Amino acid sequence: MHINPRRRSRRLVGLAVLAVSITSRAGLAQDGVPRLPETVVTATRLPTSVERVGSSITVITEQQIRERQATSVADVLRIVPGLAISRSGAGVGTTTQVRIRGAEANQTLVLIDGVEVNDPGGGSEFDFGHLLASGIERIEVLRGPQSALYGSDAIGGVINIITRRGSGEPTGFASTEAGSFRTVRADAGVSGSAGLVDYSLYATGYRSDGISIASRKRGFDESDGYANRTVGGRFGFALLDNLRMDLTGRWTQDRLDTDGFSGTTSPNIAIDDRSDALFRQRIGRAQGTLDLLDGQWQHVAGISIADTRRDFRDNKVQTGTVDGIRRKLDYQTNLLYATEGAVATEHATVLGLEHEDERVISRNDFADVDRRLETTSIFAQQGITIDEALTITASGRHDWNDRFEDAGTYRLSAAYVLDTGTKLRASYGTGTKAPTIFELFGFTSTFIGNPNLVPEESKGWDAGVEQSFLEGRLVADIAYFDTRIENLIEGFGNTARNVPGESRTRGIEFGVTFRPLHTIDVAGSYTYMSTRSADGEALVRRPRHVASLTATCRFLDDRASATLGIDWNAETRDLQFFPFPQPSHRVVLDDYTLLRLAGTYRLTEHLQVFGRIENALNEQYEELFSFATPGRAAYVGVRASF
């Protein structure tokens, strides 16, 4: 049978590009140099062209982080459709939850350089309050149930944070800034490669007097300060032409002045007190990669650990500690191949094995907890691309947990690119979320564990279309999603229980990027989301409407830039609690608009000054009931590179 030589050439080139990207993790080229197709790694656990991904995924680049001058990762995640951010007042450092498409915060899996960092001692959710944006090269946000590839905690989706990897001649930077609330921040980093070794190191220090976490309008004015120190790095060693070892690590230590919560006022509210909390997180991973068959058959084995500890104090006297430890052993093999026939096809097979150990140690005057959970999992995925246009991916997983019945999940997705450049995509997946250690075993004499809990289960689908206009300068993307969760675990009161019935979230996500001129970039997103709990009520802390707009203009021959950022949240519902035994009530929090203005100016080739105004409209708002948020703030700084 005759095969069109041009089609065959394109197919083999595409397969080779994917194989090279797996081993090299090549980034985008500079302007003016031909680019490889943009790839993402989170959707399929191996680098895949975005054109072949049937799931909803958003990529945030280092340039976007820098243009917004984001201090924390949570600040930049506001631009992603489908996400709701809830911060317990006062800004950086305070407890920050991220929910994807209405799922709970502990149903969002967070990875940092391949390490799962959801905290077993924090209800199996990741607190974004301590995650500063320094050293981060890329963030991929994958939406929809992803348990088939990632297991528990991924009902809502996956947020994959990737730090900078070194290559080429040594380069480095150092920056410092200061501003409102007596805030100072310093960052530094160096990266490069030498022979068979590549490296990247970064460090940041942040300190602020802050504002009162308890709301000033309720009469509280004690400033609650925050200090953060973070260091991290990546090292790679090419032991052989086809054998590589990678080491990654990150260490964070900080202190946050906290406020208490009144148990006597009606309703209960945050109040000033003399408490604070010490936070320490250590994560690390060692990974070996063996490439065979010219990179088309790959073996990856790794070991990782994430240790998150919190010490709670009152008047500098320790009152309790919670230490959550997550260890994982994993192996994955990837096989890429093509088949001949009347229709050109490319295949990608992924097989994996994981063993995870979660442990919580919690000690205070009322409890002494030392418990663990173990899970062993296998997963598989098969992807096929037909005639370079239609990509179908199927994945499945089986989990063996030492406390529950076996669980199986699966996911199907498809992407089809028309000759017009229009991309159609759809996906359907199931998910599970295991009960947390505290939900199973309790943590104080007033909260008794429930060993009879069963895992939460989800099923969800989405469908979308992406279209480019004006020769690619305008790209619009719209998607509809629908997710349902059964056996939702509720932990209010003195124990946890599975709520009978089904909660549901559905909505529309819209995203657009526009480059009217080569000096102007505009990006916007909008999400409409309708939520319903099993009892028919709207879910709390999920605004029905969320929108974001970012516009950057570069001028003076690219020596200067100005960025406008607008984030809008519609009114949302929260819970206000009353002294026991009165039940909680729902309260409506007003909508708010956050306006950010940022600018940079390059004094020399290696020296840049920058500044920004946050909450320029001086909005007075609450993201959580009774917790304060910062008003207008201004910051200026300088950055040197070498």
In angstroms, the CA 434 to CA 430 distance is 14
Angstrom CA distances, 459 to 31, 118, 151, stand at 42, 22, 14
What is the pTM for the complete model shown?
0.93
pLDDT by 10-residue block (mean), the chain, 642 residues: 40 38 34 55 95 96 93 95 89 93 96 97 95 95 97 95 95 97 97 96 96 85 94 97 97 94 82 92 98 96 98 93 97 94 90 98 88 97 95 98 91 96 96 93 83 94 96 95 94 85 96 96 97 92 96 96 97 87 86 97 97 96 92 97 94
* Separation of alpha carbons 488 and 433, rounded Å: 9
Report, in this order, helix, strand and coil percent for the chain, each rounded to 5.
10, 60, 30
> What confidence score (pLDDT) does residue 37 get?
52
Q: Which residue has the tokens 């979308």?
A: 464
H-helix or E-strand containing 469? Answer: strand 456-469
Q: How many helices (H) and strands (E) does the chain have?
A: 5, 39
**SS3 annotation, 346-371:** EEEEEEEEEEEEEEEEEEECCCEEEE
C-alpha 417/C-alpha 415 separation (Å) is 7
- Strand 108-112 and strand 157-163: pairing? parallel
Alpha-carbon dihedral of residues 76, 513, 602, 34, nearest 10 degrees?
120
pLDDT at 302: 98
Judge if the upstream peptide bond of residue 120 is cis by omega within 30 degrees of 0: no
Measured CA to CA, the distance from residue 146 to residue 59 in angstroms comes to 17
Can you tell me which residue has the tokens 């410092």? 176
φ, ψ dihedrals at 224, nearest 5°: -115, 110
Backbone dihedral angles phi then psi of residue 447, each to the nearest 5 degrees: -130, 105
CA atoms within 13 A on the CB side of 261: 11
Per-residue pLDDT at 78? 95
Task: Look at the chain and count its residues.
Answer: 642
Residues in a beta bridge with 230: 204, 252
What CA–CA distance (Å, rounded) separates 391 from 386? 6
* CA 513 to chain CA mean position, Å: 21
- In this structure, are residues 432 and 457 in contact, taking their beta carbons and an 8 Å threshold? yes
CA-nearest of 570, 497, 494 to 531 is 570
Residue 486 pLDDT: 95
Cβ atoms 163, 200 nearer than 8 A: yes
Task: Write the DSSP assignment of 578-623 as a string of letters.
Answer: -STTSPPEEEEEPPEEEEEEEEEEEEETTEEEEEEEESTT-----S
pLDDT, residue 214, reads: 87
CA distance 149 to 143: 13
Query: Would you call 221 exposed, middle or buried from its count of C-beta atoms within 10 A (0-12, 13-18, 19+)?
Result: exposed
The pLDDT assigned to 267 comes to 85
Rg (the chain; Cα; Å): 24
C-alpha to C-alpha distance for 617 and 636, rounded to whole angstroms: 18
Phi, psi (5° rounding) for residue 148?
A: -60, -35
The whole-angstrom separation of Cα 435 and Cα 407 is 13
**Which one-letter amino acid corresponds to residue 211?**
I
DSSP, res 217: G
Dihedral of CA 46/49/52/58: which sign? positive
| Angle, CA 181 vertex, CA 177 and CA 185 arms, to 5° | 25
Cα(573)–Cα(541) distance, rounded to whole angstroms? 6
Query: Which run of H or of E encompasses 20?
Result: helix 5-24
Strand locations in 487-544 (E): 489-490, 497-498, 502-517, 520-532
Predicted confidence at residue 27, as pLDDT, reads: 34
Phi, psi dihedral angles at 500 (to 5 degrees)? -65, 150
Are 129 and 119 in contact by the 8 Å Cβ rule? The answer is no
Q: Which positions ≥6 away from 352 have C-beta within 8 Å?
A: 45, 330, 331, 332, 333, 377, 378, 379, 380
DSSP codes, 127-176:
-GGG-B-TTEEEEEEEES--HHHH-TT-SSEEEEEEE----SS-EEEEEE
Q: Which residue has the tokens 């564990």?
A: 449
DSSP label of 30: P
User: Burial of 374 by CB count in 10 Å (0-12 exposed, 13-18 middle, 19+ buried)?
Assistant: middle
626: tokens are 């009774």
